[in-house]
Amino acid sequence: MGLSPSTGIFATTLVALALLQMVGSSPVLVAQVTTSGSGDKYVVKLGVGSPPRSELFLLDISADFVSMKCASLTVVDNVTFNTTNGESIQPPFTVEGMNFSCIGSTDHDGAEGTLGLSQAKHSLPTQLATKSGITRKFAYCLTGGSSPGPIFFGSGVDYVFQPGKNLSASLSFTPLKKQLNDYAVTLEDIVVDSAALNLTNHTLRLSSVQLYTKLTTPIYLSLRSAFRSKAASRNFTRVASVSPFDTCYHSSSINVTLLGYAVPEVDLKLGGNVTWPLFGSSSVVSVSDSVLCFAFLDAGPIEESVLGTYQQQDHLIQYDLEGGKFGFTGPLNGLRTACSDFNF
């Protein structure tokens, strides 16, 4: 006689819990995150219901709710994740009674709903903590192509990517600013090939739905000027701008390295005396076979600066809500691995 759906979920959850008890830690969950249908956002694949059905949710670290398409105001349902030991997937774990906010047929880029990861009480990290005791910490690794990267929830394991690269040891941390529910850090300065812009402390909001980093006009103009000056000193060939970018070059005039095109290095100086180096793989983007452009945009005179997902691609990114800190690695190609190298 076969197991009923509810009995099957209970059995697999017991197996996961037994393994977790043996290693003496709370569950660490993992799911796949991939580019959306349009290619400029990210979606997370989760198992919803009993038995679990695979659904895609838009990754939004600023959203306050976990939402899905449904007819009523709210829905309560089970969500099933794989657990992980940090380097591969382990037996599934079901979080029972997850609260979903209902949305209509609004376009979510092919997703069933939104995976809200803010610090609000109905966000996924808070619900995981209250319903299953999972630490309010999450980390993701965004790929730039069709291959999936991982998103982790909880603490107690190292993040190990093939071939045996412990990325936890490569994380640097800066304090999270106290925001209402979303996430931001202090941008103390930007340095371009050792030339500092000499900024005053500035708020840099973090985003998982905006593709390219946008900087307020004064900061953007200063950064663009420094980048252009350093590029000119290397005899890069300027070409006509390609919307939405205003600084573009012929790629044949620029060498290629392990870290992307050999362009001026852009270092973000963050609170806590840490530096986030952005090399060619993060600071320029190819817009054709022969043209690449400076991958930062002007946010306007009054808008805030926002760190986009292009600059986060192939870096491991961690949000420690309980510790009040934001973690990041350097580019993974420099460590001889990639976001797509987690062992699913």
Q: Taking 60 as the threshold, does the pLDDT of residue 147 lie above it? A: yes
Please give the pLDDT value at position 26. Answer: 81
| Interatomic CA distance for residues 13 and 16, integer angstroms | 5
Q: pLDDT confidence of 44, banded at 50, 70, 90?
A: very high
Buried b (16+ CB within 10 A) or exposed e, 257-291: eebbbebbbbbbbbbeebebebbbbbbbbebeeeb
Q: pLDDT confidence of 122, banded at 50, 70, 90?
A: very high
What is the average pLDDT value for the chain, to the nearest integer? 92
Model confidence over 98-113: pLDDT tens digits?
Answer: 999 998 766 677 898 9
Total-model pTM: 0.91
Q: Taking 80 as the threshold, does the pLDDT of residue 9 lie above it? A: no
Q: What is the mean pLDDT of residues 127-141?
A: 97
Model confidence over 51-102: pLDDT tens digits?
Answer: 999 999 999 999 999 999 988 889 999 999 999 999 999 999 999 999 999 9
Closest CA to 260 of 251, 249, 270: 251
